[in-house]
Chains A and B, each alone.
Chain A
Amino acid sequence: MSEWWSYRPGDLLMISLRVYERLFVLHNQALWPGQWLALALGAGLLLALWRPGPARWRLAMAGLAAAWVFVAWAFLWQRYAPLNWGIRYLVPFFGLQALLLLATVLGRGARFSTSARGASRGLGLGLVTYAVFGHPLTAWLHGRGLAGAEVIGLTPDPLAIATLGVAVLVRPARRGWALLAIPALWCLTSAVTLQLLGASGAWLPLAAVAIAVAARLLPAGRP
């Protein structure tokens, strides 16, 4: 299609709100009862970040990287891309994010590096807590009930928000910014999609990005 610039964003939407919401319902049906395992792993991630140590940190980052790969394959590629061909172009970014997460624990120079303190730490942990336990409940806000809940590790929004939280906690700063970019890009994409579909809650992923960027800009607290 030519003259992309002359299209309204809404003209490029390929699905209706109902189809978008049904995506999550069908995804949950297909993976049930995997949601419980995903929530348990999410709680494990939170624990690893709350009481960090080198082994926990490596495990948490490897698990998070695996979640980015799984969501890219199971949700984006298998379920969403057939409905919206633009999504296939985002899948490589999810793979890249997995590699970035692994790079924090593998290779030369890799080291345990969660050293945020004070407000940054609180905001980072808050984002992860929201992503694991709060975001699934927003399915009620969208009016689709828990059958359409978005669960961390299975769907992109809570995964991206949790990774934003991790990116806030990571030191040094350049590594944190590197981990923040792709989740922020996804959250912006999600916010635009929800807004164009007329769904409630478009502000949630936007707020997560704003909080993460603000927390990253805060001066590092004392150890």
Chain B
Amino acid sequence: MSAYPDRLSRRRLLGGLLALAAGAALPAFPAQARADGILTREVPATGEALPLVGLGSWITFNVGDDPLLLEECTAVMAAFFAGGGRMIDSSPMYGTSQATIGHGLATLEAADRVYAADKVWTSNPAEGPAQIATSRRDWGVPRFDLLQVHNLLAWETNLATLQGMKAAGELRHIGITTSHGRRHDTLERIMRQADIDFVQLTYNIVDREAEQRLLPLARERGLGVIANRPFQRKRLIRRLASEPLPGWAAEIGAESWAQVILKFIVSHPAVSCAIPATTRVDHVRENLAAAREPLPDAALRRRMAAHVRAL
């Protein structure tokens, strides 16, 4: 699903140059290094600094009440917080993932360290408040930092619920999500019209459609961007696993394909955070290490994308 054609026409080249010029005029959200070396980027709406790598929970944290697997997920969360991570993202759609996060937060006494990002996922907006209350109890947090309308489901009315909660001080940020590159036209319309703080969408080194309109629009509108499916749910990593790391990987301090992919994502100036999911402590450390200097510049990003596209 690459956004880039195999052959670069003159028309596309001119269009790209115009987009580049327009991009230069957009507000900059530079990554800033914290004392521990983890790079952060400010949430445009509030200026809060978030680490560039977060933690997803789709599938990986859906472990039910299995004590062994709950323990493993807690270990992943412990490594995540120890490595400087903050944002954990979940949804009522993800089975028992919210309760798993709640178990980890309670065990680690980390409710004050997490940036709690969740979603409302219902086609009946009247159920939204009750669903959100259940989600909050599962997490065991006093309030969510971010609530998003999941996959644009009944988005007008669900978004109104979230806006009301934000106005009442019951949550800090609101947003809307899509994935797999779906309904970008609707998402663009919402980004232009609605009062939101974040969008979540699929963006990685091969799924780059968002670069065309959505990421520049997010910068223009001052919206944070959360990049989901950074590894295409392992498919991208498996596809690249047999390929040697290119020489430029060392230039950005990437020691694995996972780090190459994450550094590509979070080096886009519009991206606030990527949210890879994992069940392994070594992987969460590897992912967080990608949120350190150096990040690729625009020229290297183009080489990276071209290299992966050619594989």
CA distance A15 to B218 in the complex (A): 32
**Chain A interface extent, by class:** 20 to 34
Q: Are B59's CB and A3's CB within 8 A?
A: no
B63 interface residue per 8 A CB criterion: yes
Q: Are A22's CB and B68's CB within 8 A?
A: yes
Tell me how far the C-beta of B68 lies from the nearest C-beta in chain A, rounded to whole angstroms.
7
B60 contact set on A, CB distance < 8 A: 16
- Dominant secondary structure at the B interface: loop
B204 interface residue per 8 A CB criterion: no
Q: Are B59's CB and A13's CB within 8 A?
A: yes
B233 contact set on A, CB distance < 8 A: 10-11
B190 interface residue per 8 A CB criterion: no
Task: Determine, out of A39-47, A81-89, A162-170, the stretch whose residues face the partner at the interface.
Answer: A81-89
Q: Are B62's CB and A3's CB within 8 A?
A: no
Tell me how far the C-beta of A61 lies from the nearest C-beta in chain B, rounded to whole angstroms.
33
B279 contact set on A, CB distance < 8 A: 16, 18
Residues A1-41 near B (CB distance < 8 A): 1-3, 6-7, 10-11, 13-16, 18-19, 22-23, 26
CA distance A196 to B183 in the complex (A): 26
17 additional A-B pairs beyond A16-B279, A26-B66, beta carbons within 8 Å, are: A2-B152, A2-B182, A7-B180, A10-B233, A11-B180, A11-B233, A14-B95, A15-B62, A16-B59, A18-B69, A18-B279, A19-B62, A19-B63, A22-B63, A23-B64, A82-B96, A85-B95
A-B contact pairs, 28 of them (CB 8 A): A1-B93, A1-B150, A1-B153, A2-B151, A2-B153, A2-B182, A2-B183, A6-B180, A7-B180, A10-B233, A14-B62, A14-B95, A15-B62, A16-B59, A16-B279, A18-B69, A18-B279, A19-B64, A19-B66, A22-B66, A23-B64, A26-B64, A26-B66, A79-B64, A82-B64, A83-B62, A83-B64, A83-B95
Interface residues of B (CB under 8 A from A): 59-60, 62-64, 66, 68-69, 93-96, 150-153, 180, 182-183, 233, 279
Q: Are B95's CB and A82's CB within 8 A?
A: yes
Q: Are B66's CB and A6's CB within 8 A?
A: no
List the A residue with the shortest CB-CB distance to B68: A22
Q: Which of B64, B68, B233 has the most A CB atoms < 10 Å from its CB?
A: B64
CA distance A10 to B229 in the complex (A): 13
CA distance A85 to B64 in the complex (A): 12
B153 contact set on A, CB distance < 8 A: 1-2
List the B residue with the shortest CB-CB distance to A80: B64
CA distance A3 to B63 in the complex (A): 27
- Mask of A53-93 contacts with B, CB within 8 angstroms, 1/0: 00000000000000000000000000100111100000000
Q: Are A3's CB and B182's CB within 8 A?
A: yes
List the B residue with the shortest CB-CB distance to A84: B95
CA distance A5 to B289 in the complex (A): 37
Q: Are B59's CB and A15's CB within 8 A?
A: yes
A11 contact set on B, CB distance < 8 A: 180, 233
A1 contact set on B, CB distance < 8 A: 93, 150-151, 153
Q: Are B152's CB and A83's CB within 8 A?
A: no
A13 contact set on B, CB distance < 8 A: 59
B62 contact set on A, CB distance < 8 A: 14-15, 19, 83
Instruction: Pick the contact of A15: B68, B93, B95, B180 (CB < 8 A).
Output: B95
Instruction: Pick the contact of B182: A6, A10, A19, A26 (CB < 8 A).
Output: A6
Tell me how far the C-beta of B186 lies from the nearest C-beta in chain A, rounded to whole angstroms.
10
CA distance A103 to B93 in the complex (A): 37
Q: Which of A2, A6, A10, A16 has the most B CB atoms < 10 Å from its CB?
A: A2
Q: Are B183's CB and A3's CB within 8 A?
A: yes
Q: Which of B60, B68, B95, B182 has the most A CB atoms < 10 Å from its CB?
A: B95
Q: Are A14's CB and B182's CB within 8 A?
A: no
CA distance A1 to B182 in the complex (A): 11
B180 contact set on A, CB distance < 8 A: 6-7, 11
What 7 A-B pairs are tightest by C-beta distance, nearest first?
A83-B95, A1-B151, A14-B95, A83-B64, A22-B66, A82-B96, A19-B63
